[in-house]
Amino acid sequence: MRAMRRQILRSSAIYLSCLAAAATSVAGAGASDLALSFDPAKITTTDATASPKPGAMPVLVVTTGHAQSWAGIALPAPEEHWDLSAFSYVALQIRNRGAHPVTVHCRVDSPGADGKKNCVTGHLTLDMCRVDTLMMPLQRTHEDTLGGKLFGMLGYPVSAGADGGFDPKNITQILLFVDKPAEDSVFEVTEIRATGAYNPPTAWTTDADPFFPFIDTFGQYRHKDWPR
């Protein structure tokens, strides 16, 4: 009986782990990207300059100093906000034009963002002349342990709302900066886009009330059919 119980719990944990992985995956072919436009005249700076470079593919050249604890720019959304609820990520293509490696930090804000709440953050380290894409996940759910009643699992069902209250439907600005700089840096932003169609998670703690028991005699999640 104990062996059967352990097997049931293990099967359920693996299943929910797969659901958690699927929740953060990016849709493949067929997902349409959205280029995020902004008004260069409304860019605000802190110990930095931002110079648009026109061309077939517009480029924003950002030069940061080292007189402040962080140096960078804020790109406000046109018409007060972007609605990116249909997407999973904001992708930024960045090139290091400086004479040394640089770590570029990004923050995507909802109203009331303060660096911990109502925002998502990420960073990308680039060697000289290197270019890469920084992927910022638009989180909108969080794993829910139901007050500690679920534990020791590889994955958990989710509840609505990202940790800290981030809202992809109401993105007010994107920050790009260098944290605690020791020297000047120069980098180019060659692309900012929303990408990856959003696929809602399968298992939610609101699937049933009460949620327990949540596995059947075959060790499967009992509140929904197995995904096909």
What average pLDDT does the structure give for the chain?
81
For the ranges 41-45, 70-74, 120-124, 206-210, which has the lowest average pLDDT? 206-210
User: What pTM was estimated for this model as a whole?
Assistant: 0.75
C-alpha closest to that of 71 among 177, 182, 173 = 177
| Backbone angles phi and psi of 78, in degrees to 5 | -65, 150
Written as six digits, the tokens of 133 are: 């894409």
Query: Could you tell me the domains of the chain?
Result: 30-197 (2.60.120.430)
Residue with tokens 């659901």: 19
147-159 residue pLDDT tens? 777 777 777 776 7
Measure Cα distances from 217 to 7, 149, 193, 213, 214 in Å.
11, 20, 46, 10, 10
Q: Are 181 and 65 in contact (CB under 8 A)?
A: yes
What does the pLDDT look like over 182-222, one tens digit per residue?
Answer: 999 999 999 999 999 988 877 767 777 777 787 788 777 77
The pLDDT, as a whole number, for residue 163 is 61
Q: For residue 108, which of 130, 77, 145 has the smallest C-alpha distance?
A: 77
